[in-house]
Amino acid sequence: MRRLISLLAISVLFINGSAQDPTSWRGPSRDGHYPETGLLKQWPAGGPQILWSFEDLGQGHSSAIVDQGKVYTTGMSNDKGYLFKFDLSGKLIYKKEYGPEFTESFYGTRGTPAIVGDKIYLLSGMGKLHCFYNETGDILWSKDLFKDFGGSNIQWGMNETPVIDGDIIYITPGGKKNNLVALNRHSGELVWSTPGTGELSAYCTPLLFEHNGRKMLATHFESNLVGFDAATGEMLWKQNQPNEWSVHPNTPIYHEGGIFYLSGYGQGGGMLELSPDGNSAKLLWTHKKMDSRMGAAVLVDGYIYGSGDSRVWSCLDWQTGEEKFTSKEIGIGVGIYADGMLYCYTQKGELALVQPDPSGFNVVSLTKVAKGSEQHWAHPVIYDGVLYVRHGKALVAYKVK
């Protein structure tokens, strides 16, 4: 009866949900693809033109995100987290405090905001899920994933971008009872909860996808990649994927019934084939070399491009896992894709424009991100011909069109 009530409740929310599409981490499809056209195929000798920069974000690793002509990100100053909102010229609209942030190793903000219409959603490194009113930055409601849902913080702080579908928001407390939860995004009220594997969360933003008409979620916990029914929270399958530090920040990639997953520390990744109904998953192949800790990967024309702890960029065949090339031409890091080109941002601060080609790693243009401080970890974003790169305290807007 409880499951039937949950099904009915979430069905109503799906039907009556907002028609607006959420602005998500890693692009509209959460796969590193950005739907831009007319972008430069080669940059000027000194790199793309810097339109503006803001160098007072404080400490943090969260990406920028752009929605309805406004730019958002977060930063930490004096142990407090702040939500920043800019216009497209770089003018600061507001800076709003939302509470304590992570102050242990690799201190600063983590998760990237998600936005739908007049609401902004953000998970702090201390496990607080906040809903803000977009216009003013005021907090409308908050949930403590530890106190409210029995979760526990993890070694380097909670790091997840909330996943939104209609009026539902999905988040991972990592508790024994409330492993993954679905909430009403307007009120924060619980819609469903699942015990899942009972493992801690693992820095992963879940993948929401549709498989043969069925909405599903796939996300990493401490030692397993797990699939769920998005309407009920029922756990459908799991794939063992441990590593030394239980760090799995890379959102999986779904394509035509297959799920590619990867994580670092020598573990690498693999390909799962889902059954037609999505109730089970079969391991097709694994590959150890593409073992990114946090840089994710992108699928382009049947090939996967990414980097990893093995200190190389590599290309894998989606169908077979065959390695097409490896390259050490630039440092390892993050890759996104737009208008026929890869945009690679490395942990050395390199920013590269790369022609995707399974026959070799073709770096067309290369520059350096000089502004900012500390680690080069945030994922870049492209919006309306502008590439936004966050490096520690700095947000830089490059003209790439």
Would you say the CATH fold of 31-58+297-401 matches that of 1-27+62-109+111-202? yes
Kindly list the domain boundaries of the chain, sorted by start residue.
1-27+62-109+111-202, 31-58+297-401, 216-229+236-293
- CATH architecture of structural domain 1-27+62-109+111-202: Beta Barrel (2.40)
Q: Does domain 31-58+297-401 have CATH number 2.40.128.630?
A: yes
Q: Cα separation of 193 and 154, whole Å?
A: 20
The neighbouring-strand residues paired with 394 are 391
Whose CA is closest to 51, among 352, 387, 343? Answer: 387
Contacts of residue 91, defined as CB under 8 A and 6 or more positions apart, other chains included, come to: none
pLDDT digits (tens, 9 = 90+) for 334-366: 999 999 999 999 999 999 999 999 999 999 999
Percent of the chain at pLDDT > 90 equals 93
pLDDT of residue 3: 52
Report which DSSP code applies to 3: H
pLDDT of residue 24: 86
pLDDT digits (tens, 9 = 90+) for 70-115: 999 999 999 999 999 999 999 999 999 999 999 999 999 999 999 9
Both tokens assigned to 178? 């409330």
Both tokens assigned to 315? 């290309």
pLDDT of residue 22: 84
